[in-house]
Structure 1
Amino acid sequence: MTTQTPVWDIFEFTATGPSDGNPFLDVTFDGVFSLGNRTVKVPGFYDGDGTYKLRFCPDTEGDWELTTTSNASALDGLTDSFVATAPRDGVHGPVRVRNTFHFAYADGTPYKPFGTTCYAWTHQPIEMQNETLKTLETAGFNKVRMGVFPKSYPYNANPALHNVYEQIGEGEGDMDFDRPNPEAFRHFETQIGKLADMGIEADIILFHPYDRWGYADMTPEQDCNFLKYLAARISAYRNVWWSLANEYDFMLNTKPMELWHKFCNTLEQYDHLHHLMSNHNGDPAKNYDHRLPWITHVCIQHWDVKQTPLWRNTYGKPVINDEPEYEGDLYQSWGNITAEELTHRFWTTTLRGGYAGHGETYNDPDDLIWWAKGGKLHGQAWKRIKWLRELLEQDVEHGLEPIGSYYGFPWSRISGARDGKDGTTFIYFGEHQPAVWSTGLPTDGGDYDVDVIDTWNMTIEPAKIIEAHVVPITRHGTLIRGGKPDADFAVSLPSKPRLALRVRRRKA
């Protein structure tokens, strides 16, 4: 019977080969998948105990054929075939950049990242990992930042579930960094698959400086071998993103800039799906150069989310502020903003044309903190973030584009965006509480429904429409607006912060 694999699922080929020496380094094993006159080369990997595997994610329906190449005779010239069938319901493929600053799945379905951070959740006891997955089922996030390597850091000092490499001594860091531990990778990719089944993207952090095992101090050759092995194992998963590092600039003393460029090139060569790729900064003044052609989107850490339009203009790519600081009560300032403030930063980022990331960092006597280990959510921002996502998925198809000039009053303070050129408009007042508002409202004489959104209480009510009137505005003593209303109508507001407006053209 012919094997059938739906498009965007994984076809896996298994073979038996040599197990002597160091198969991870000594044996080359690749596959060439062909469909008509199209060919795709895919790297294979050693899975231990003499077992070798190839994983391939088809992007096109049809009859695919496989031929292997290897420097080991037992693995060379093997053949197989399968039929790629239509994608399963709800499966849309890997995420791609769309409309310059936004995202969509490969089949064109819009994707709006609403992510959270659980750095080392796959390194915790299995019971806690199951609890994390249960939380993610209903929390509303569709992306998770997560590390391949365990993390050694305050609040995250417990032993890891697995060593990523084979143990050769009794010490915690006594490992052979030329021999990956297949058990650790099998577990990691299993959890990636569970996220895929829930429609959650796995934003894979490849390196970080918070280490006591020696992973951060591998040689450049070992680093690249790690990337090749990981790409061979997991690049066929449709929900993978590559994040080169958590705070790459804190590792420049051991991994200079040219090595980070080499990492990107290595992934480009060994990832047959060409997943999204970014690099994350620590110091706000040391962003990676996101203009480089192999970088697909801006991953940034910065508390001042009002700069989002500047990052868009600087890099010309989608902006995801994955670390606008976290809701919590830790001693460190990055981990002790209020739920109200994180919700505010999400709305501000979103209505300035970008995307934001969530994290929760409340003190716990056992250090069971979501941002580090997953488990349960205890805060309040995630509920408002989920609600914001639901709002946008009702009305935003093309991607929110900022309206007004970042430098022009009042847009440097107020956030506003529109879906494409003619879609729904949102205006967010943030910390401001005007009693009357008209800037950014329609000027074409059309019929519109306008709603007032309370972003914290998660309520939507029809706005009170009033006659627009001239509001003189001066700047440095000079009149910059006056003479006629700037919109067809104005809105009366209840003079309280954290409100937004939604303006939709009335359907005929």
Structure 2
Amino acid sequence: MKRNALNTVYAAITFLLVSLAMPHSVLAINRVDYQEGAVAGRQWEVLDIAFATATAPQQANEIEIAADFTGPDGTEIAVDGFDDGDGRFVIRFTPTKPGSWTFNVRSSVAALDGKQGSLSVQPAGQDRKGGVVIAKDSPTRFEYENGERYYPIAFECDWLFALDAENPDDIPQTRRFVDTLAENGFNQVVMNVFAYDVNWPKDDRLVKEFDYGSPDVYPFGGHNENPDHSRLNIEYFQRLDRVIDYLDQKGIVAHLMIYVWNKNVNWPEADSQADNRYFDYVVRRYQAFPNMVWDISKEALGYGHNDVNYISHRIDRLRKADAYRRLVTVHDYAYCRRFPEKVDFVSVQLWLSELYSVMRDVVKNIPGKPILNIEHGGYERGPYVVFTGNYTSPEVCLERAYQCVFAGTFPTHYWQGAAWNVIIPDIKTLPADEQPRLDYYRHMRSFVDRYRVDELVAGDRKANAGFCLHDNADTLIYYIPKECDFIGVRLPSERRGETMTATWFDPYTGEYSKPENHKITQWPSLKVPAGDGLRILVLNLDTP
């Protein structure tokens, strides 16, 4: 429809006080209807400004709406709005600074075009840190916009969107599951916008209650088996809002994979009008969430759906649309290695047995980027066999996660009871011997935060076994493999005759030993505490 025709059709648009489709109590988003006066907001909290109109659904796709925001120090952010169904259009905005903001609306509809408003933004609350960005003082680390460090320990849950997708009123299953992740130190969830079903055989023992494959929801019109790609299912995204928002409330980053090619999704043709409409809508709707990082596609080049040009063009399209410049990655090491300049951080899927050395090679091959091992081949066993990978022991999975940590990279954990179509939302109801050892990662969280390990130097052995992180001064931390009974450390010759303090950390219990003092000799050696698994040694060289 031509612009003039749209203007004629919508000349009588009025701004109405409307309630949005889902109960406001489910969302932390501040939702207001457009008004001429100042709207109250808070730094790094999501604000929806809604414009209501009477319009036919098929015409809504053709309406353009955006707003130009100007902050107290002259900061300018141009944000595209989106159709929220039933004649509502939303400008979703997150103020990046406190103070007075103004905005001007741009629209293809005359009654909307030129509307103005203002925001009175209060400073961030104590628990609000802003979005995740690359650390200013190190290109291989992350931090929040407020300058606090961010150390990701990720958990993959592809079907998180599905737990309450058929519940119009609430998200009890989602809250239950996400709360458990938060309690155990996970601060990033790798998830799909949508996935349909797995293409491998399902365990005969799997009960329907925990199988979220073939969901009766779909982000497009129709159904996955009989799609109508010419329109989007707005209600689907309204319900996905609740998931992203709750992750944000719990301080968990949504590592959102916009596509997935091997989960039987009936996608529109690549780069078609329908494909672009879907992609743009996802970016417009979710860019304002401070806990958002983008991933173009799970295993982006693994299934012949497209080529590197498509992925590169998707990244370009995303960066053009994303007003907040959220971080972007691609779940494909080959792509990241070939086009490192296109991504903000690298996602690799590497299963090889000697994982530490493999991850150190990645660091060397793609210098100056944070590295996330998004799949290290460890899929902790659960009550049902879903996908075994190479390693299913929770202890071996933990060892591999720590090898990522000591390589100067970041880990992701999989549990077969939650990674794919099978999700057991209330883990605590399982028998103790069937529950995943998420407590191991709670201890890891405590460890990496206590010693700020992402700020330490990786890659120098400084011992005759194991792996070392150090601060180039007086602190050295060693990963001691379970095979070791003794560890010989290698310290500077000028420190001989001084003392060092040794503290042992048990990564399975989270307990620290009583510190012990040792004299630094030419070849200092320490006995590893008894036990069947890896140990971590913290050495502090005493200042003379």
TM above 0.5: yes
Structure 2 unaligned segments of length 5 or more: list them: 1-36, 165-170, 203-210, 428-433
Q: 2:96 aligned with 1:59, yes or no?
A: yes
Task: Indicate which of 470, 473, 476 corresponds to 1:425.
Answer: 476
Q: Tell me the equivalent position of 1:32.
A: 68
Question: How much has 1:373 moved relative to structure 2?
Answer: 2.9
Q: Tell me the equivalent position of 1:492.
A: 527
SS at match of 2:111: helix
Map 1:430-441 to 2 at 5 A: 430-439=481-490
8 Å Cα contact 2:70-2:76 kept in structure 1:
yes
SS at match of 1:42: strand
Question: How much has 1:376 moved relative to structure 2?
Answer: 3.7
Q: 1:374 to 1:258 in 2, by over 3 A?
A: farther
Question: How much has 1:21 moved relative to structure 2?
Answer: 6.5
Task: Indicate which of 309, 326, 332 corresponds to 1:275.
Answer: 326
Q: 2:454 aligned with 1:404, yes or no?
A: no
TM-score by length of 2: 0.80
Map 1:108-119 to 2 at 5 A: 108-119=147-158
SS at match of 2:364: helix
Question: How much has 1:218 moved relative to structure 2?
Answer: 5.0
Q: 2:438 aligned with 1:382, yes or no?
A: yes
For residues 430-472 of structure 1, the C-alpha deviation after alignment (integer angstroms, 9 at most, x for no partner) is 2430424222589546664321122234332146555555xxx
8 Å Cα contact 2:381-2:392 kept in structure 1:
yes
Q: Tell me the equivalent position of 2:17.
A: none
For residues 10-58 of structure 1, the C-alpha deviation after alignment (integer angstroms, 9 at most, x for no partner) is 2222113462363453111111001254321111111111111101111
For residues 261 and 389 of structure 1, what CA distance do their matches in structure 2 show?
A: 34
Report how many residues are paired.
474
Question: How much has 1:394 moved relative to structure 2?
Answer: 1.5
Q: 1:201 to 1:332 in 2, by over 3 A?
A: closer
Q: Tell me the equivalent position of 2:214.
A: 159
Select between 446-455 and 5-14 the one with higher mean Cα deviation.
Answer: 446-455
8 Å Cα contact 2:132-2:327 kept in structure 1:
yes
Q: Tell me the equivalent position of 2:31.
A: none
Q: 2:181 aligned with 1:136, yes or no?
A: yes
Q: Tell me the equivalent position of 1:480.
A: none
Q: Tell me the equivalent position of 1:339.
A: 394
SS at match of 1:26: coil
For residues 273 and 288 of structure 2, what CA distance do their matches in structure 1 show?
A: 24
Structure 1 unaligned segments of length 5 or more: list them: 363-367, 470-484
8 Å Cα contact 1:32-1:39 kept in structure 2:
yes
SS at match of 1:75: coil
8 Å Cα contact 1:463-1:491 kept in structure 2:
no
Question: How much has 1:310 moved relative to structure 2?
Answer: 1.1
For residues 421 and 183 of structure 2, what CA distance do their matches in structure 1 show?
A: 17
Q: Tell me the equivalent position of 1:122.
A: 161
Question: How much has 1:381 moved relative to structure 2?
Answer: 3.5
Q: Tell me the equivalent position of 2:343.
A: 295
For residues 290 and 203 of structure 1, what CA distance do their matches in structure 2 show?
A: 22
Q: Which letter maps to 2:238?
A: R
TM-score by length of 1: 0.85
Select between 448-457 and 212-221 the one with higher mean Cα deviation.
Answer: 212-221
Q: Tell me the equivalent position of 1:174.
A: 226
Map 1:46-85 to 2 at 5 A: 46-85=83-122
Q: Tell me the equivalent position of 2:511.
A: 459
Question: How much has 1:223 moved relative to structure 2?
Answer: 2.6
8 Å Cα contact 1:25-1:178 kept in structure 2:
no
Select between 375-384 and 313-322 the one with higher mean Cα deviation.
Answer: 375-384
SS at match of 1:334: coil
Question: How much has 1:127 moved relative to structure 2?
Answer: 4.9
Q: 1:9 to 1:117 in 2, by over 3 A?
A: same
8 Å Cα contact 1:177-1:218 kept in structure 2:
no
For residues 145 and 261 of structure 1, what CA distance do their matches in structure 2 show?
A: 21
Q: Tell me the equivalent position of 1:14.
A: 50
Task: Indicate which of 450, 471, 474 corresponds to 1:394.
Answer: 450
Select between 429-438 and 348-357 the one with higher mean Cα deviation.
Answer: 429-438
Q: 2:501 aligned with 1:501, yes or no?
A: no
Select between 337-346 and 149-158 the one with higher mean Cα deviation.
Answer: 149-158
Q: Which letter maps to 2:380?
A: E
For residues 276 and 366 of structure 2, what CA distance do their matches in structure 1 show?
A: 27
Q: Tell me the equivalent position of 1:203.
A: 255
For residues 399-447 of structure 1, the C-alpha deviation after alignment (integer angstroms, 9 at most, x for no partner) is 2321416xx984xx6211125x447421002243042422258954666
SS at match of 1:293: helix
8 Å Cα contact 1:17-1:72 kept in structure 2:
no
Q: 2:362 aligned with 1:326, yes or no?
A: no
8 Å Cα contact 2:293-2:327 kept in structure 1:
yes
Question: How much has 1:70 moved relative to structure 2?
Answer: 1.2
8 Å Cα contact 1:151-1:210 kept in structure 2:
no
Question: How much has 1:96 moved relative to structure 2?
Answer: 1.1
SS at match of 1:312: helix
The alignment-based identity, stated in percent, is 17
Task: Indicate the RMSD between aligned Cα atoms, in angstroms.
Answer: 2.8
Q: Tell me the equivalent position of 1:359.
A: 414
Q: 1:222 to 1:503 in 2, by over 3 A?
A: farther
Question: How much has 1:321 moved relative to structure 2?
Answer: 0.5
